[in-house]
Structure 1
Amino acid sequence: MTAPQIKAVIFDMDGLLLDTEGIYTEVTQLIADRFGGRRFDWSIKQHTIGLGAYALASYIVQALELPISAQAFLELRTPLMNERFPQAAAMAGAEALVRHLSAKGIPIAVGTSSSRHYFDLKIARHREWFELFDAVVTADDPQVGAAKPAPDIFLVAAQRLGVAPADCLVFEDSPFGISAAKAAGMYAVAIPDPAMADDKFLHADRRLHSLEAVDLKAWGLPTD
């Protein structure tokens, strides 16, 4: 089988480029504790990774049995996340891979379910290498009709990079993100939380343990 000749790379952000998932967990549990809700453990969290904000809030309110609306949940978590997101660290291999692809002239984009507001907070410690991206598409972008698992975010990213979807490679950490990439007609590599079950990523083209393990040659991308 001939290796694909990828012309552009699109990255998810949360849990893939930046280590923000712990912040989401902490903030969600703080709110749950305030209302005497259930524990926000992995059995619940695994179903929320990669969802858009309102879908995530709706699921959490129901799963944790919180006596508030999804909108109220989002309003309560806003100041808590505003305080914590600027401290987000980079995931292993993220900066090095982004810098390499940029230096080789490969078009790169971020396609995230975050809002632009939260995107800006999360990259506070990483603005230098995030400036290397040729495009950033957030869930509240005017051209995005629906968040993941819909393909909109990735299709808009490909359009802005000027590359056909079939020539794009997506890196994602969530099953919803992989579904979005495949629905967009793109190649998709899963780099999930180690606790995520293998059978949630059967639709991915490959599954890796980190961005450090990416085999660029297998995708027709420059290696040095």
Structure 2
Amino acid sequence: MDSTLPQASAPRHRQAGPVGLVIFDCDGVLIDSEVLACRTAAETLGEFGLAITLDEYLQFVGRSARDIRAELEARFGTLPAALQTTERERLFARFTADLKGMAGAAETIAGLGLPVCIASSSDHERLRHTLGLTGLHDLFQPHIFSATEVARGKPAPDLFLHAAARMGVDPAACLVVEDSPAGVTAAVAAGMRAIGFIGGSHCRADHADRLLAAGADTIIDRLSAVTALAR
């Protein structure tokens, strides 16, 4: 880990015992998808006469699709019926053309020597598409969990608690790797230790500080650093 990265002075949510499960967020952690997704959404909304900037849309990072839709409808009113289909078609095409896996993702997962799973705000169709494109799907299957499986998305703890229950691991023994304040907040609320990841192209200069403020124990800018933190 880069010694210049800000970090908490001491772990605030460290497990009483060894790590039993590493839970990875997907978008912005395993795959560098957030700018692609947010740009596509903002552009499509604009074409439907609903103006929103890329920076404004990036504030939704980490949130579930239904929560984002609720926020948008609070701002714009009922969204056009064709908007979701149009955006999704464009997004999947853009992913196919431009999506990249995060550097070191496959090697880190393969070398951890611990149970792993994904807990993502994306739905399963999108997860199959993006993880398949980046060669990561088979490293996690069938342990891929979506916010569509729980009542509340991040920043509520529901998804992380659901993942831990399905994996048969006490939440206190779970280590979460997250890139969004919403995700870190959810992990801490679930009683888990959270690592803040700032290696994605969407991360701005203040991103590390925002993750620490949400409750992250430490900040990393490369996935290979997870291995030492999970010991």
- Measured against the shorter chain, the TM-score band is 0.7 to 0.9
| Pairing 1:130–2:137 present | yes
Q: 1:17 aligns with which of 22, 27, 30?
A: 30
CA distance in 2, matches of 1:71, 1:204: 38
Which letter maps to 1:26? R
SS for the counterpart of 2:139 is coil
Equivalent position of 2:68 in the other structure: 56
Residue 71 to residue 10, structure 1, CA distance change in 2 (3 Å): farther
SS for the counterpart of 2:187 is helix
Equivalent position of 1:80 in the other structure: 90
Q: TM-score, length-normalised on structure 1?
A: 0.82
How far did residue 76 of structure 1 move? 3.2
CA contact (8 A) 2:105 2:223 kept: yes
Q: 2:59 aligns with which of 47, 55, 67?
A: 47
SS for the counterpart of 1:23 is helix
How far did residue 170 of structure 1 move? 0.3
Q: Greater shift after overlay, 188-197 or 166-175?
A: 188-197
Q: 1:155 aligns with which of 156, 161, 181?
A: 161
How far did residue 47 of structure 1 move? 1.8
Q: Which residues of 2 match residues 52-201 of structure 1 at below 5 A?
A: 52-60=64-72, 66=76, 68-69=78-79, 73-87=83-97, 88-101=99-112, 104=113, 106-127=114-135, 129-133=136-140, 135-141=143-149, 144-192=150-198, 193-195=202-204, 196-201=206-211
CA contact (8 A) 1:150 1:183 kept: yes
CA contact (8 A) 1:12 1:171 kept: yes
SS for the counterpart of 2:210 is helix
Residue 67 to residue 155, structure 1, CA distance change in 2 (3 Å): closer
Provide the aligned length of Structure 1 versus Structure 2. Answer: 210
SS for the counterpart of 2:28 is coil
Equivalent position of 2:218 in the other structure: 206
SS for the counterpart of 1:124 is helix
Give me the CA root mean square deviation: 2.5
Which letter maps to 2:111? H
Q: Which consecutive residues of structure 2, in runs of 5 or more, have no partner in the other structure?
A: 1-9
SS for the counterpart of 1:17 is coil
How far did residue 70 of structure 1 move? 7.5
How far did residue 68 of structure 1 move? 5.0
SS for the counterpart of 2:60 is coil
Residue 30 to residue 209, structure 1, CA distance change in 2 (3 Å): same
Q: TM-score, length-normalised on structure 2?
A: 0.80
- Report percent identity of matched pairs: 30
Once the two structures are superposed, what CA deviation does each residue of 1:152-178 show, in whole Å capped at 9, x if it has no partner? 211111112211000000000000000
Residue 20 to residue 198, structure 1, CA distance change in 2 (3 Å): closer
Which letter maps to 2:160? F
| Pairing 1:33–2:40 present | no
Once the two structures are superposed, what CA deviation does each residue of 1:40-62 show, in whole Å capped at 9, x if it has no partner? 232x1342000110221333456
SS for the counterpart of 2:194 is strand
CA contact (8 A) 1:54 1:70 kept: no
